[in-house]
């Protein structure tokens, strides 16, 4: 699969492979120019051979010259053979560039249209859900059933032996992991979303069934108010260096019930780190953790209700919270910002980058183990997407292959072939600690990328050439109105954040503070559904419920 106008980095068993479709196009053009030059050289040799034929009758030595010219033209490394080989290589390079540039977008668009149309055709009938569900099962275990049928046809008694039965059970148990690693899981999810959509009315032609069903479900969930509770004693976290350091900052942002979290960190905590550089400039890193609650409308906003909203492209509480936290921290409009998140946090980071276009100078978005979302970072924002081939969470958007787009570095790592667990479980494949290691491998591979690459420039803009001085602040996102609006209580007093009013944003994402001073800030949304939310429910889309594992 390819990345349109971006780079693809594959971390497999051998040396990392970096692919830039635009560079492939340039290489193909240069190869064609070289082929043309070799054709000219061969034509000149052919002309010289004709002249040697003419001279052979009068000059005896011309015969030897003719033999030499013909031998040179027919030689394995002569201009004619080189021209043919170079032309073939140019054609293959051009085809490879086209494949990397178009494969994902075109294939995904065609598949979404096919499944969407299938959902419309069969979904209106009484057996629509059953047919689409059966198709999902067939895609998941169809190869296993076909192999079993072949064995029964060839050796009916051998296929029923105890040894064969054990092998069949082992293969059946490995189906979930196999459908993730070979890409079938996304297809299965599309079909299941279409099946569920046929029962709820969330189906339609030429629409992504997963995204449509997610928006449909998110649209019927009750609205939630959230508030920011500043932490008085945030940990002193080091300034990140490279992609590894950025992902490690997210790993430390998890609560202390996780292997990587800092002691005392509450659920749904955001880290905002100010970087002061030696030249007097300032930049910022905002780290967002992933899903930490299995419910849809509970007291922890980093839950599956937020996942559905993000995947469906409807307003979500975590995007609003991060935007408000950026305003509270005092981020300047022209100060470079990097947004980084794992799992749900990566989806939030992408959504925030799109929501704050023209408000903050977001230079870089880094996502680790995250599904795709409809929001697209604005022009000028570089993106690094990290994905493990065995990570089931990354296919919950119903898409196969790499996350692409302009100024994108799409990284796919095969854990089993690069020092990870030989047969990683779903939890191991999605764990943030594994993505920290993947970030380190990316940093090593970035040495092969030109210095003017958008990702390398963005990393330098935010992190600087040398390690900066870091000031870490954290806020916890809590559900509900401020405590003083519920019952008399002692307000939560925290170290004051830098005073800087948040810039105005679009209504669905706007932070609406309630309360004052050092108290927890409320980010409220009207209990009545906006016209935008109603339109989102009518448009519908798709299901993404990320597992709880960090």
| Residue ranges of domains in the chain | 22-101, 124-206, 226-539
As a whole number of angstroms, the distance between CA 441 and CA 409 comes to 13
| Beta carbons within 8 Å of 516's beta carbon, 6+ residues apart | none
pLDDT digits (tens, 9 = 90+) for 361-377: 999 999 999 998 888 88
Considering just the CA atoms, what is the radius of gyration of the chain in Å?
29
Answer whether residue 504 shows pLDDT above 80.
no
Q: What is the pLDDT of residue 150?
A: 55
Answer whether residue 391 shows pLDDT above 80.
yes
Q: What is the pLDDT of residue 67?
A: 77
Q: What is the pLDDT of residue 496?
A: 35
Token pair in block for residue 325? 């936290």
3-state secondary structure string across 48-115: HHHHHHHHHCCCCHHHHHHHHHHHHHHCCCCHHHHHHHHHHHHHHHHHHHHHHHHHHHHHHHHHHHHH
Q: Which of residues 203 and 233 earns the better pLDDT score?
A: 233
- The answer to whether the CB of 455 falls within 8 A of the CB of 382 is yes
Average pLDDT on 155-161 reads 54
As a whole number of angstroms, the distance between CA 534 and CA 216 comes to 10
- The answer to whether the CB of 385 falls within 8 A of the CB of 403 is yes
In this structure, the strands spanning 336-342 and 361-368 are parallel
Backbone φ and ψ of 213, nearest 5°: -70, -35
Q: Quote the DSSP letter at residue 509.
A: G
- The answer to whether the CB of 369 falls within 8 A of the CB of 387 is yes
Choice among 6-20, 262-276, 503-517 with the minimum mean pLDDT: 503-517
Choice among 200-204, 320-324, 511-515 with the minimum mean pLDDT: 511-515
Q: Which of residues 453 and 122 earns the better pLDDT score?
A: 453
- The answer to whether the CB of 368 falls within 8 A of the CB of 432 is yes
Q: What is the pLDDT of residue 533?
A: 43
Percent of the chain with pLDDT over 90: 35
pLDDT digits (tens, 9 = 90+) for 263-316: 999 999 999 999 999 999 999 999 999 999 999 999 999 999 999 999 989 999
* DSSP SS3 for 242: helix
Banded model confidence at residue 354, pLDDT cuts 50, 70, 90: very high
- In the chain, what is the greatest distance between 2 CA atoms, to the nearest angstrom? 117
Q: Which of residues 78 and 369 earns the better pLDDT score?
A: 369
Q: Quote the DSSP letter at residue 321.
A: H
- The answer to whether the CB of 181 falls within 8 A of the CB of 395 is no
Average pLDDT on 303-332 reads 95
Q: What is the pLDDT of residue 175?
A: 58
Element spanning 233, H or E: none
Answer whether residue 17 shows pLDDT above 70.
no
As a whole number of angstroms, the distance between CA 117 and CA 104 comes to 19
Closest to 337 in 3D by CA, of 318, 356, 314: 356
As a whole number of angstroms, the distance between CA 11 and CA 153 comes to 41
Note the pTM of the prediction, 2 decimals: 0.67
Q: What is the pLDDT of residue 187?
A: 65
Rounded mean pLDDT of the chain?
75
pLDDT digits (tens, 9 = 90+) for 339-349: 999 999 999 99
């Amino acid at each position: 699969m390819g990345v349109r106008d971006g780079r693809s980095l594959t971390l497999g068993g051998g040396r990392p492979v970096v692919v830039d479709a635009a560079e492939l196009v340039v290489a193909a053009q240069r190869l064609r120019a070289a082929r043309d030059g070799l054709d000219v050289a061969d034509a000149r040799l052919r002309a010289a051979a004709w002249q040697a034929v003419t001279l052979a009758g009068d000059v005896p030595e011309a015969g030897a010259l003719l033999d030499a010219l013909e031998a040179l033209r027919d030689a394995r490394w002569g201009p004619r053979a080189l021209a043919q080989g170079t032309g073939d290589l140019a054609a293959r390079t051009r085809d490879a560039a086209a494949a990397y540039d178009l494969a994902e977008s075109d294939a995904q668009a065609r598949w979404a249209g096919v499944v969407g149309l299938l959902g419309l055709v069969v979904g209106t009938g009484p057996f629509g859900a059953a047919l689409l569900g059966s198709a999902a099962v067939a895609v998941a275990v169809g190869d296993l059933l076909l192999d079993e049928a072949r064995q029964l046809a060839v050796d009916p008694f051998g296929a029923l032996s105890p040894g064969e039965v054990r092998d069949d059970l082992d293969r059946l148990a490995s189906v979930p992991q196999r459908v993730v690693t070979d890409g079938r899981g996304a297809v299965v999810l599309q079909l299941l979303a279409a099946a569920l959509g046929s029962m709820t009315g969330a189906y339609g032609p030429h629409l992504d069934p997963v995204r449509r069903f997610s928006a449909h479900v998110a649209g019927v969930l009750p609205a939630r108010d959230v508030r920011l509770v500043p932490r008085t004693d945030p940990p002193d976290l080091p300034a990140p260096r490279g992609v590894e350091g950025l992902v490690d900052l997210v790993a430390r942002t998890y609560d202390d019930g996780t292997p990587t979290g800092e002691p005392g960190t509450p659920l749904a905590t955001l880290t905002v780190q100010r970087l002061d550089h030696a030249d007097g400039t300032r930049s910022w890193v905002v780290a967002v953790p992933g899903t930490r609650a299995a419910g849809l409308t509970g007291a922890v906003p980093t839950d599956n209700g937020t996942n559905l909203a993000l995947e469906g492209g409807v307003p979500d509480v975590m995007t609003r919270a991060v935007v408000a936290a950026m305003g509270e921290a005092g981020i300047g409009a022209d100060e470079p910002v990097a947004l980084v998140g794992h799992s749900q946090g990566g989806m939030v980071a992408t959504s925030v980058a799109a929501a704050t276009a023209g408000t903050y100078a977001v230079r870089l978005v880094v996502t680790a183990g995250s599904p795709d979302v409809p929001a697209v970072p604005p022009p000028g924002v570089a993106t690094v997407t990290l994905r493990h081939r065995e990570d089931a969470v990354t296919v919950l958007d119903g898409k196969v292959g790499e996350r692409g787009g302009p100024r994108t570095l799409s990284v796919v790592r095969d854990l089993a072939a690069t020092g990870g667990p030989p047969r990683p479980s779903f939890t191991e494949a999605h764990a943030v600690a594994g993505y920290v290691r993947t970030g380190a491998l990316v940093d090593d591979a970035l040495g092969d990328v030109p210095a003017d690459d958008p990702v390398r420039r963005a990393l330098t803009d935010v992190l600087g050439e040398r390690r900066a001085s870091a000031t870490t602040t954290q806020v916890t996102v809590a559900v509900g109105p401020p405590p003083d609006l519920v019952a008399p209580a002692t307000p939560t007093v925290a170290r004051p954040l830098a005073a800087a009013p948040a810039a105005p944003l679009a209504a669905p994402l706007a932070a609406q503070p309630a309360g004052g001073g050092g108290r927890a800030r409320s980010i409220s949304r009207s209990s009545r559904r906006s016209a935008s939310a109603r339109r989102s429910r009518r448009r519908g889309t798709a299901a993404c419920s990320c597992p709880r594992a960090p």
